[in-house]
Amino acid sequence: MSITSSLQRIGLTKQEASVYVATLKLGLAKASEIARKAGINREASYYVLKLLQEKGFISEVIKSGVKYYGAIKPKRILGILEEEKQRKTEAIREVLPELEALQKMAISRPKIEVYEGVEGFKTITSKLVEKKNQTFYAYVPETTLQFLPTFHLQFRRRRQEKNIEVKVITKTTKFMKEIQKKDKQELRETRFNDSIMKNITSSYFILPDAIIIIKANEKEQLGIYIQEENTAKLQRTIFETLWKTAKK
Protein backbone atom coordinates (compact mmCIF):
# COMPACT_ATOMS: atom_id res chain seq x y z
CA MET A 1 0.00 0.00 0.00
CA SER A 2 1.35 3.46 -0.96
CA ILE A 3 2.03 6.25 1.55
CA THR A 4 -0.78 8.42 0.14
CA SER A 5 -3.23 5.49 0.33
CA SER A 6 -2.33 4.95 3.99
CA LEU A 7 -2.84 8.63 4.73
CA GLN A 8 -6.24 8.50 3.04
CA ARG A 9 -7.20 5.67 5.39
CA ILE A 10 -6.73 7.99 8.39
CA GLY A 11 -9.02 10.64 6.91
CA LEU A 12 -7.00 12.75 4.47
CA THR A 13 -8.21 13.30 0.92
CA LYS A 14 -6.01 12.23 -1.99
CA GLN A 15 -4.89 15.84 -2.58
CA GLU A 16 -4.23 16.43 1.12
CA ALA A 17 -2.11 13.28 1.31
CA SER A 18 -0.14 14.29 -1.80
CA VAL A 19 0.47 17.81 -0.48
CA TYR A 20 1.56 16.55 2.95
CA VAL A 21 4.02 14.08 1.39
CA ALA A 22 5.36 16.77 -0.98
CA THR A 23 5.86 19.20 1.92
CA LEU A 24 7.57 16.49 3.96
CA LYS A 25 10.04 15.88 1.13
CA LEU A 26 10.75 19.58 0.55
CA GLY A 27 11.17 20.61 4.16
CA LEU A 28 10.27 24.31 4.42
CA ALA A 29 8.85 25.45 1.07
CA LYS A 30 6.63 27.98 -0.70
CA ALA A 31 3.13 27.06 -1.85
CA SER A 32 4.21 27.18 -5.49
CA GLU A 33 7.02 24.69 -4.84
CA ILE A 34 4.71 22.37 -2.94
CA ALA A 35 2.09 22.57 -5.71
CA ARG A 36 4.67 21.64 -8.33
CA LYS A 37 5.97 18.73 -6.23
CA ALA A 38 2.45 17.45 -5.48
CA GLY A 39 1.29 17.81 -9.09
CA ILE A 40 -1.58 20.23 -8.45
CA ASN A 41 -2.17 23.84 -9.50
CA ARG A 42 -1.02 26.69 -7.28
CA GLU A 43 -4.52 27.99 -6.45
CA ALA A 44 -5.61 24.55 -5.25
CA SER A 45 -2.47 24.19 -3.14
CA TYR A 46 -3.40 27.21 -0.99
CA TYR A 47 -6.79 25.69 -0.21
CA VAL A 48 -5.35 22.24 0.56
CA LEU A 49 -2.56 23.71 2.72
CA LYS A 50 -5.16 25.63 4.73
CA LEU A 51 -7.13 22.42 5.34
CA LEU A 52 -3.97 20.61 6.42
CA GLN A 53 -3.14 23.45 8.80
CA GLU A 54 -6.59 23.12 10.38
CA LYS A 55 -6.02 19.38 10.80
CA GLY A 56 -2.59 19.99 12.34
CA PHE A 57 -0.49 18.38 9.58
CA ILE A 58 1.12 21.58 8.26
CA SER A 59 2.67 24.60 9.99
CA GLU A 60 3.23 28.06 8.52
CA VAL A 61 6.29 30.33 8.82
CA ILE A 62 6.73 33.87 7.41
CA LYS A 63 10.24 34.89 6.34
CA SER A 64 10.86 38.36 4.90
CA GLY A 65 7.15 38.68 4.22
CA VAL A 66 6.96 35.36 2.33
CA LYS A 67 4.93 32.38 3.56
CA TYR A 68 6.65 29.05 3.89
CA TYR A 69 5.03 25.78 4.85
CA GLY A 70 6.46 22.84 6.74
CA ALA A 71 5.10 19.35 7.46
CA ILE A 72 4.84 18.10 11.04
CA LYS A 73 7.03 15.18 12.06
CA PRO A 74 5.42 11.87 11.03
CA LYS A 75 5.36 10.60 14.64
CA ARG A 76 3.18 13.58 15.56
CA ILE A 77 0.41 12.08 13.37
CA LEU A 78 -0.16 9.43 16.04
CA GLY A 79 -0.78 12.17 18.58
CA ILE A 80 -3.22 13.93 16.25
CA LEU A 81 -5.16 10.70 15.72
CA GLU A 82 -5.31 10.04 19.46
CA GLU A 83 -6.54 13.58 20.16
CA GLU A 84 -9.17 13.23 17.43
CA LYS A 85 -10.31 9.92 18.90
CA GLN A 86 -10.65 11.50 22.35
CA ARG A 87 -12.65 14.44 20.96
CA LYS A 88 -15.04 12.11 19.15
CA THR A 89 -15.40 9.87 22.20
CA GLU A 90 -16.22 12.83 24.45
CA ALA A 91 -18.69 14.20 21.90
CA ILE A 92 -20.55 10.89 21.80
CA ARG A 93 -20.50 10.54 25.59
CA GLU A 94 -22.20 13.92 25.91
CA VAL A 95 -25.12 13.02 23.65
CA LEU A 96 -25.32 9.29 24.47
CA PRO A 97 -28.19 9.64 26.99
CA GLU A 98 -30.22 11.59 24.42
CA LEU A 99 -29.50 9.04 21.68
CA GLU A 100 -30.56 6.17 23.95
CA ALA A 101 -33.74 8.05 24.87
CA LEU A 102 -34.56 8.47 21.17
CA GLN A 103 -34.04 4.76 20.63
CA LYS A 104 -36.50 3.91 23.40
CA MET A 105 -39.06 6.24 21.86
CA ALA A 106 -38.83 4.51 18.49
CA ILE A 107 -41.69 2.21 17.54
CA SER A 108 -40.33 -1.30 17.32
CA ARG A 109 -41.51 -3.26 14.32
CA PRO A 110 -42.33 -6.92 14.84
CA LYS A 111 -40.41 -9.52 12.88
CA ILE A 112 -42.87 -11.52 10.79
CA GLU A 113 -42.07 -14.67 8.82
CA VAL A 114 -44.46 -16.79 6.75
CA TYR A 115 -43.92 -20.49 6.01
CA GLU A 116 -45.88 -22.61 3.54
CA GLY A 117 -46.01 -26.26 2.54
CA VAL A 118 -44.94 -29.37 4.42
CA GLU A 119 -41.31 -28.27 4.73
CA GLY A 120 -42.43 -24.84 5.90
CA PHE A 121 -44.61 -26.53 8.53
CA LYS A 122 -41.63 -28.54 9.78
CA THR A 123 -39.37 -25.48 9.83
CA ILE A 124 -41.72 -23.25 11.82
CA THR A 125 -42.53 -26.07 14.25
CA SER A 126 -38.80 -26.48 14.89
CA LYS A 127 -38.69 -22.88 16.14
CA LEU A 128 -40.53 -24.09 19.24
CA VAL A 129 -37.52 -26.13 20.33
CA GLU A 130 -34.68 -23.73 19.52
CA LYS A 131 -34.07 -22.78 23.17
CA LYS A 132 -33.58 -25.24 26.02
CA ASN A 133 -35.18 -25.21 29.48
CA GLN A 134 -38.22 -23.08 28.78
CA THR A 135 -42.01 -23.30 28.91
CA PHE A 136 -44.38 -22.24 26.17
CA TYR A 137 -48.17 -22.11 26.02
CA ALA A 138 -50.39 -23.46 23.26
CA TYR A 139 -53.93 -23.68 21.95
CA VAL A 140 -53.97 -26.88 19.92
CA PRO A 141 -56.86 -28.50 18.00
CA GLU A 142 -56.51 -32.21 17.33
CA THR A 143 -56.34 -31.63 13.56
CA THR A 144 -52.83 -30.20 13.96
CA LEU A 145 -51.59 -33.29 15.80
CA GLN A 146 -53.24 -35.66 13.32
CA PHE A 147 -51.24 -34.17 10.46
CA LEU A 148 -47.89 -35.97 10.04
CA PRO A 149 -48.17 -37.97 13.30
CA THR A 150 -44.65 -39.41 12.94
CA PHE A 151 -43.19 -35.90 12.75
CA HIS A 152 -45.11 -34.89 15.89
CA LEU A 153 -43.72 -37.90 17.72
CA GLN A 154 -40.17 -36.89 16.75
CA PHE A 155 -40.92 -33.29 17.72
CA ARG A 156 -42.10 -34.33 21.20
CA ARG A 157 -38.89 -36.31 21.71
CA ARG A 158 -36.78 -33.30 20.73
CA ARG A 159 -38.78 -31.14 23.11
CA GLN A 160 -38.21 -33.60 25.96
CA GLU A 161 -34.48 -33.79 25.22
CA LYS A 162 -34.24 -30.00 25.55
CA ASN A 163 -36.32 -29.96 28.74
CA ILE A 164 -39.03 -27.78 27.21
CA GLU A 165 -42.39 -27.92 28.94
CA VAL A 166 -45.70 -26.98 27.36
CA LYS A 167 -49.13 -26.08 28.69
CA VAL A 168 -51.91 -26.92 26.24
CA ILE A 169 -55.51 -25.77 26.07
CA THR A 170 -57.58 -27.88 23.70
CA LYS A 171 -61.07 -29.24 23.02
CA THR A 172 -62.36 -32.35 24.77
CA THR A 173 -62.16 -35.24 22.31
CA LYS A 174 -61.26 -38.91 22.58
CA PHE A 175 -58.03 -38.27 20.66
CA MET A 176 -56.92 -35.43 22.97
CA LYS A 177 -57.85 -37.43 26.07
CA GLU A 178 -55.44 -40.13 24.88
CA ILE A 179 -52.75 -37.47 24.36
CA GLN A 180 -53.35 -36.19 27.90
CA LYS A 181 -52.56 -39.61 29.39
CA LYS A 182 -48.92 -39.17 28.35
CA ASP A 183 -48.63 -35.63 29.74
CA LYS A 184 -46.20 -36.42 32.55
CA GLN A 185 -43.70 -38.39 30.47
CA GLU A 186 -43.86 -35.85 27.62
CA LEU A 187 -43.37 -32.74 29.82
CA ARG A 188 -46.84 -31.47 29.02
CA GLU A 189 -49.94 -30.39 30.91
CA THR A 190 -53.21 -30.52 29.01
CA ARG A 191 -56.44 -28.81 29.99
CA PHE A 192 -59.77 -28.47 28.19
CA ASN A 193 -61.85 -25.42 27.32
CA ASP A 194 -64.49 -26.39 24.77
CA SER A 195 -66.11 -22.95 24.56
CA ILE A 196 -62.83 -21.37 23.47
CA MET A 197 -61.65 -24.19 21.21
CA LYS A 198 -64.89 -25.26 19.49
CA ASN A 199 -64.28 -23.23 16.31
CA ILE A 200 -60.46 -23.13 16.38
CA THR A 201 -58.79 -24.87 13.43
CA SER A 202 -55.28 -23.42 13.82
CA SER A 203 -52.74 -23.89 16.59
CA TYR A 204 -51.39 -20.90 18.52
CA PHE A 205 -48.07 -21.18 20.35
CA ILE A 206 -46.95 -18.46 22.76
CA LEU A 207 -43.21 -18.15 23.42
CA PRO A 208 -41.58 -15.62 25.78
CA ASP A 209 -40.95 -13.19 22.92
CA ALA A 210 -42.95 -14.49 19.97
CA ILE A 211 -46.19 -16.05 18.74
CA ILE A 212 -46.45 -18.88 16.23
CA ILE A 213 -49.67 -19.64 14.35
CA ILE A 214 -49.90 -22.93 12.47
CA LYS A 215 -52.66 -24.27 10.25
CA ALA A 216 -51.83 -27.79 9.13
CA ASN A 217 -53.93 -30.43 7.42
CA GLU A 218 -53.72 -32.53 4.27
CA LYS A 219 -54.94 -29.66 2.07
CA GLU A 220 -53.12 -26.70 3.59
CA GLN A 221 -49.96 -26.00 5.56
CA LEU A 222 -49.37 -22.43 6.66
CA GLY A 223 -47.25 -21.02 9.47
CA ILE A 224 -46.79 -17.45 10.71
CA TYR A 225 -44.03 -16.42 13.11
CA ILE A 226 -44.44 -13.04 14.87
CA GLN A 227 -41.57 -11.90 17.08
CA GLU A 228 -42.75 -9.04 19.28
CA GLU A 229 -42.17 -9.30 23.01
CA ASN A 230 -45.02 -7.06 24.24
CA THR A 231 -47.60 -8.90 22.13
CA ALA A 232 -46.28 -12.22 23.41
CA LYS A 233 -46.54 -11.00 27.02
CA LEU A 234 -50.15 -9.94 26.49
CA GLN A 235 -51.05 -13.30 24.98
CA ARG A 236 -49.35 -15.12 27.87
CA THR A 237 -51.44 -13.13 30.35
CA ILE A 238 -54.65 -14.01 28.49
CA PHE A 239 -53.64 -17.67 28.34
CA GLU A 240 -52.87 -17.79 32.06
CA THR A 241 -56.33 -16.38 32.83
CA LEU A 242 -58.02 -19.00 30.64
CA TRP A 243 -55.78 -21.71 32.08
CA LYS A 244 -57.19 -21.18 35.56
CA THR A 245 -60.73 -22.01 34.42
CA ALA A 246 -59.85 -24.79 31.96
CA LYS A 247 -60.78 -28.34 32.98
CA LYS A 248 -58.08 -30.84 33.87
pLDDT digits (tens, 9 = 90+) for 143-200: 999 999 899 889 999 999 999 999 999 999 999 999 999 999 999 999 999 999 988 9
Asked if 145 and 218 sit in the same domain, the reply is: yes
Domain with 197 in it = 111-245
Asked if 144 and 39 sit in the same domain, the reply is: no
- pLDDT at residue number 99: 84
Number of domains in the chain: 2
Kindly list the distances between the CA atom of residue 32 and the CA atoms of 37, 72, 86, 184, in Å, as whole numbers in the listed order: 9, 19, 35, 90
- pLDDT at residue number 106: 63
Asked if 64 and 119 sit in the same domain, the reply is: no
- pLDDT at residue number 238: 95
- pLDDT at residue number 84: 85
Per-residue pLDDT tens digits for 226-241: 998 889 999 999 999 9
What CATH number does the domain containing 11 carry? 1.10.10.10
- Give domain status of residue 63, yes or no: yes
- pLDDT at residue number 221: 92
Buried residues in 138-162 as b, exposed as e (16+ CB within 10 A): bbbbbbbbebbeeebeebbeebeee
Asked if 123 and 66 sit in the same domain, the reply is: no
- pLDDT at residue number 170: 95
Rounded to the nearest integer, the mean pLDDT of the chain is 90
Given a contact cutoff of 8 angstroms between Cβ atoms, the answer to whether 15 and 23 are in contact is: no
Contacts 24+ apart (CB under 8 A), 39-45: 40/15, 44/15, 45/19
pTM across the whole model: 0.58
pLDDT along the chain (248 residues), means of 10: 85 90 90 90 90 90 89 89 87 87 72 92 92 94 91 91 95 93 94 92 94 92 92 94 92
- Give domain status of residue 206, yes or no: yes
Asked if 71 and 176 sit in the same domain, the reply is: no
